[in-house]
Amino acid sequence: MIEARNLTKTFTDKKRGVITATENVSFTCQPGRIYGLLGANGAGKTTTLRLLATLLKPTSGTATVAGHDIGTAPEQVRANVGFLAASTALYGRLTAREMIAYFGRLNGMSDDAIRARIRLLADELGMHEFLDRRCEKFSTGMKQKTSIARTLVHDPAVMIFDEPTLGLDVMTARSIVRFVRDCRNRGKTVIYSTHVMSEVEKLCDTIGIIHNGRLVAEGTLEGLRAKFGEQDMEEVFVKAVGGEAEANAA
């Protein structure tokens, strides 16, 4: 389970002064559910996820992830989280198999457990044909599948996906969306950040719309449609953030 409570993060810029990236963001996500964090670029999605994954420390507020506080027990949080960012990098000279195994060892897994996990992930993500090729030769889709596998090799209870289909072709994006759905079906707690409306509609049990660092709307897909009087998710989003001018400004 994830519970964020008034998460706030500010940064200081020499020219712009204090910048508030997130402000009093609160929400919960239960096991076997996908919480969709929807927002434009720069809205605060990635900062929120980095706070939950303990890659950043909150200015105020806190969160618990898998029963552990992000401030007082960051190592326990990281042991229970798989965090995939769009900018995740790979070591080009390693093969996909070596890359996944390396992260398995970082997480304290035995060689037998790593081999079994690699077989399972390669089956689920369709990786067998490039599993023993060097990452430097990979297409964008191959890189992203390898990044997902190495992020989830230790089979974490909580999975955080930040724009996982960014820049992918349609078929690869579909396979990753299908994999995320399977994670939910296996009882994982999943946060899925995106600005792709169709992915939100296909995947998310609960949707949080974030704008200028604040959570401005939250609910199920049907609940948000009813609240804003729109069926199209793009129109729901535009109304939630305050109209076309606000959406374009973001």
Q: How far is CA 161 from the centre of its chain?
A: 2
Phi, psi torsion values for 3, nearest 5 degrees: -135, 110
Instruction: Give exposure, 84-110, as e/b (b: 16+ Cβ within 10 Å).
Output: bbbebebeeebbbbebbbebbeebebe
pLDDT for the residue 122: 94
Distance CA 38, CA 15 (A): 29
Residue 172 has pLDDT above 90, yes or no: no
CATH level 2 (architecture), domain 2-80+157-249 = 3-Layer(aba) Sandwich (3.40)
pLDDT of residue 6: 96
pLDDT classification of 36: cutoffs 50, 70, 90: very high
Report yes or no: 122 and 149 within 8 Å, Cβ to Cβ.
Answer: yes
**Which letter does DSSP use for residue 231 in this model?**
S
What are the helix (H) ranges across 25-169? 45-52, 74-79, 96-106, 111-125, 140-151
Per the prediction, the chain carries an average pLDDT of 91
Query: Over the stretch 96-135, which tens digit does the pLDDT of each residue have?
Result: 999 999 999 998 999 999 999 999 999 988 999 999 999 9
Residues 119, 97: Cα–Cα separation, whole Å: 10
pLDDT digits (tens, 9 = 90+) for 220-234: 999 999 999 999 999
Number of other CB atoms surrounding residue 198 within 10 Å: 12
Question: From the CB of residue 3, how many other CB atoms can be counted at a distance below 10 Å?
Answer: 15
Q: What does DSSP assign to residue 138?
A: -
pLDDT of residue 89: 80
Strand ranges for the chain from DSSP E: 2-13, 17-29, 33-38, 60-65, 68-69, 81-84, 158-162, 189-194, 206-211, 214-219
Q: What is the pLDDT of residue 87?
A: 65
Q: Among the listed ranges 56-70, 83-97, 125-139, which one has the minimum average pLDDT value?
A: 83-97
The residue extents of the domains of the chain are: 2-80+157-249, 89-155
Task: Give 125-164 pLDDT, tens digit per residue.
Answer: 899 999 999 999 899 889 989 999 999 999 999 999 998 8
Give residue-wise pLDDT tens across range 185-240: 999 999 999 888 889 998 999 999 999 999 999 999 999 999 999 999 999 999 99
Q: What angle do CA 234, 240, 241 make, to 5 degrees?
A: 95
As a whole number, mean pLDDT of residues 79-88 equals 83
DSSP 88-121: ----TTSBHHHHHHHHHHHTT--HHHHHHHHHHH
Query: Which pLDDT does position 244 carry in this prediction?
Result: 57
Separation in Å, CA 119 to CA 116, 122, 147, 182 = 5, 5, 15, 17
Asked if the model's pLDDT at residue 72 lies above 90, the reply is yes
pTM for the full predicted model: 0.88
What's residue 212's pLDDT? 93
